[in-house]
Structure 1
């Protein structure tokens, strides 16, 4: 049990709490503080995501009550690191913070290089408490402002990235390391203050609350937002326009200022990957940038998880077949989105069970047919009968202007089919496709199309609904044979040359599968056991040339002795060990080799 423990301030980082305890405890060495808090003398304290909190709670039992959930969510950057991640990652991070066990931490997020502070907050802290502390909200990557005083944050002299520290330390916030600088690095860009403020707000929200979104939800959420802003039409993304508008919105100068790559207009850039269906975790600041650009706020993203792109509203949808009894009734269950090749406008293709297919513009406020795609024979006969008496009602339609428009659409449909002969060929192509499936019952669509692709291509264009219902059920890939014997012979020659390269290196390199693979560029082939089973000669050669630790040490010793003898140096055991980087007692054979060489030269 600890003799005392400081009280936790509002929004104080746990790292700051531990640092204040170290400063007040009088411990000379930091390992004594680690032993007090975590019962460990060797520990690397993570500034934003501390570990072993369960041990700390146990050591403080009796006079301090700790709510670990409150500590983790309100005094660390747990949400910042785990929002936009999978549930497994969130649970793994939480378990690591509580238990301290080493687990996978696949989150590419680094803290700010220096811990940050607000000069006004420091002045107020010394008036109220006689000391200051590191605030959690000031250390969030992407937060540039203190929201209380609306001042730009300053960099302290305390390095927060552990790998750049010369030694492990716990440094509390003081007037010595929180020097007030009148000119911040961000003050030179006054025209970007609004953007800095907005980005700071978004990043602060990411670090403060559970956004209730996972990485797998983000593609669909961004697709809906991109569609709303006009960057997606018929499931096709206009990335060129998106990248240009994104750069114009923020500006290259601003993106460089906050440390984000400004070359987002290239394929496979972070902007392109985030908008595509790419698995992976992206930096929360990138989510903040994209969300703000799409006129949304991060705390509202969860609302789009269950939404769908519905340019025509929720189904069912209206049928515009004037000869059907359900004319202008909402009976169509589904539609597909496509882009008009001429106007580039988004159109919906509606398939009614009555045998009538047509398209509509998605951006039109009026319900009308853009183009008739397919008419069943019975409706076509009804249309021809009506065409003889134009004054009669067109099925269930009586308005003259609509009848004229319908006649125009039916005429264009008739001209299109008479030119291509599609109407007469549909039955023929259906029979051809069915016969191909019957003749090749074990073949999938890829194999059938290799035999004869014309029926499938024709039906895909003119009878898509029927084609979907009659696709082959076989779902397997065609096995492709590979000449492993030729590969085996080829790899033999490549590996022999790689061995000679490794043996002739100035600085000896151990001969392993990895070192051979890196030189040959064939690492993906030779590191897989199943591939080596198919290449017995290559496998046998690798087993014969791969070095053990002892063999590699002997080779280093032999080379070192030869080099010393060549320049006329006197051989000593310590000199050979130092130059060959050999530890004593690792191998009797190596030790005897060194002693024999020294003894032989002395004699």
Structure 2
């Protein structure tokens, strides 16, 4: 039998569900918090979670469906903030856990929050100006956007937040719901921040609140490669200039502010900024996305996080100057691929006249629609026009102007027409053979230009470099995975990874040594677990499961080998205690 709560209070705009339950506890007259929890959830063991509460289906049913689960999640929890950079499957999984209920910490684990170093506030915070205004109109309440990580300033009043003595964490205060009206606002001090950070902190507060209330969802992890390329942080070969990026990023924010936000990038090992620059598959904290966007672009809106077509919406113009429909938008499809050198999108446009062209994107203006990067196929209409021009007395340059190409292309295509017999598939044959000839010439040129390499000497050099790099990685204060990429970064030899991976058979000594040192995902995670266990034991004298996972940067489900080590560490700790 479901007991319906008759007088659950109406929730205010941006009010935390936690705050609404705290106000209900005041109204109910219950002496114990557990009695209130049992009335609302039917279970006395539901925890007082501030940011991402669960068991919402039970709550919605017992308040007579005054609010749906979706309304509670979207308007009265911090879930929209974290969901902004998740894909559809991850969003559905977390929402299901919040609706149906789960073990403590599982919702946070599904969102990657146990593995991140970005810390949520330890105590609930409020704005003194908001408190006074709400006390006059109705009653003060806990706001969602005041509790977001990295937010130290009220986005409405632009004033530093005040820190209460009400704990956000549930491990020591599992059943405590405290209304804001219960505390005296004048007794609590403001967040202590450096005045030099005010502009950046104001940006973080405003944009964090915007994410929370706009319900944006990217569905795919956003890519910053286009912005990095525009700012000059990607080479022509598509490699990110991490050394330059890290220096400029640290100068832009200062190491002190980044440390305050738990987003420092001061080490030479793999950082969150490296992962964010490479289109990561793992979850990156929204605060770090905000820092990246401000650094590269300065604005954060749906156009930044949404996935817009890099070449705009069709139809697109045919750029065959020999056709009657030149510059008319009649191409309906655009095939998009990635440039192997820069990682930027490449659009290929094929017209019914046989003309096929491509260009590297993304388009930055309307004029870019009329730009050709490369002609892949000229087509029957273009070749027919060329044949006609070759029968009249015109200069090579004049023909080129009428066909929209350079004189050399006219000469080459005329030569191809003369050397190959025409047949019903003449245009396809001409285009195919032309492409084959061009590629063959390029490959022959590259083979001639390639210098001979003394692989025996290079093997000795790279072996010595790899040994020193691996020793340095192992001596780092925090574990860094030993991989080709980390070895290359640590050794400061930019092409080491490429030389090893593409020529392993020619580097037998280096290959053998690196193979014994490279870590798999499991071995690296085991090393992180052991490191975290030692840190916890030295600092606290005991090992708690969730703290061990958080410090190690791991989430459930763990791989079999890692899970075995995790269980052994917990079991050994229980025996020792």
Match of 2:33 among 30, 33, 43: 30
Separation in 2, partners of 1:65, 1:336: 49
Separation in 1, partners of 2:11, 2:357: 67
Deviations 1:460-483 (A, max 9, x none): 73699xxxxxxxxxxxxxxxxxxx
Give the aligned partner of residue 127 of structure 2: 118
Give the aligned partner of residue 106 of structure 1: 110
Q: Are the equivalent residues in 2 in contact too, given 1:22–1:30 (CA < 8 A)?
A: yes
> Which ranges of structure 2 fall in alignment gaps of 5 or more residues?
114-118, 416-431, 447-557, 563-567
- Is 1:301 equivalent to 2:303 in the alignment? yes
**Between Structure 1 and Structure 2, whose CA radius of gyration is higher?**
1
Separation in 1, partners of 2:356, 2:13: 64
Separation in 2, partners of 1:40, 1:340: 58
Deviation at residue 195 of structure 1 after TM alignment:
1.2
Match of 1:9 among 7, 12, 28: 12
Give the aligned partner of residue 162 of structure 1: 170
How has the CA–CA distance of structure 1 residues 175 and 319 changed in structure 2, closer, same or farther, with 3 Å as cutoff?
same
**DSSP 3-state at the match of 2:121:** coil
Where do residues 194-343 of structure 1 align in structure 2 (5 Å cutoff)?
Answer: 194-214=199-219, 216-219=220-223, 222-232=224-234, 236-240=238-242, 241-263=244-266, 266=268, 268-295=270-297, 297-301=299-303, 304-308=306-310, 318=319
Deviation at residue 166 of structure 1 after TM alignment:
5.4
**DSSP 3-state at the match of 1:20:** helix
Deviation at residue 49 of structure 1 after TM alignment:
1.5
Root-mean-square deviation (CA, aligned residues, Å) is 5.6
- Is 1:142 equivalent to 2:145 in the alignment? no
Deviation at residue 351 of structure 1 after TM alignment:
12
TM-score (normalised: structure 1):
0.54
Match of 1:461 among 406, 430, 443: 443
> Which ranges of structure 1 fall in alignment gaps of 5 or more residues?
415-429, 435-454, 465-523, 529-548, 557-578, 583-603
How has the CA–CA distance of structure 1 residues 50 and 525 changed in structure 2, closer, same or farther, with 3 Å as cutoff?
closer
- Is 1:71 equivalent to 2:72 in the alignment? yes
Where do residues 149-188 of structure 1 align in structure 2 (5 Å cutoff)?
Answer: 149-163=157-171, 165=172, 168-174=175-181, 176=183, 178-181=185-188, 184-186=191-193, 188=194
Separation in 1, partners of 2:560, 2:9: 58
Deviation at residue 339 of structure 1 after TM alignment:
10
Separation in 2, partners of 1:201, 1:260: 19
Q: Are the equivalent residues in 2 in contact too, given 1:114–1:157 (CA < 8 A)?
A: yes
Separation in 2, partners of 1:70, 1:167: 24
Give the aligned partner of residue 92 of structure 1: 93
Q: Are the equivalent residues in 2 in contact too, given 1:234–1:347 (CA < 8 A)?
A: no
How has the CA–CA distance of structure 1 residues 180 and 462 changed in structure 2, closer, same or farther, with 3 Å as cutoff?
farther
Deviation at residue 308 of structure 1 after TM alignment:
1.7
How has the CA–CA distance of structure 1 residues 24 and 406 changed in structure 2, closer, same or farther, with 3 Å as cutoff?
same
Alignment length (residue pairs): 420
Deviation at residue 127 of structure 1 after TM alignment:
3.2
Deviations 1:318-349 (A, max 9, x none): 579xxx999x98999989997999xxxx9999
Q: Are the equivalent residues in 1 in contact too, given 2:8–2:24 (CA < 8 A)?
A: yes
Deviations 1:120-151 (A, max 9, x none): 2223333334x532112211223222233221
TM-score (normalised: structure 2):
0.56
Give the aligned partner of residue 424 of structure 1: none
Separation in 2, partners of 1:194, 1:410: 60
Give the aligned partner of residue 528 of structure 2: none
Deviation at residue 156 of structure 1 after TM alignment:
1.0
Higher relative contact order (CA 8 A, sep 6+): 2
Moved more, 142-151 or 357-366: 357-366
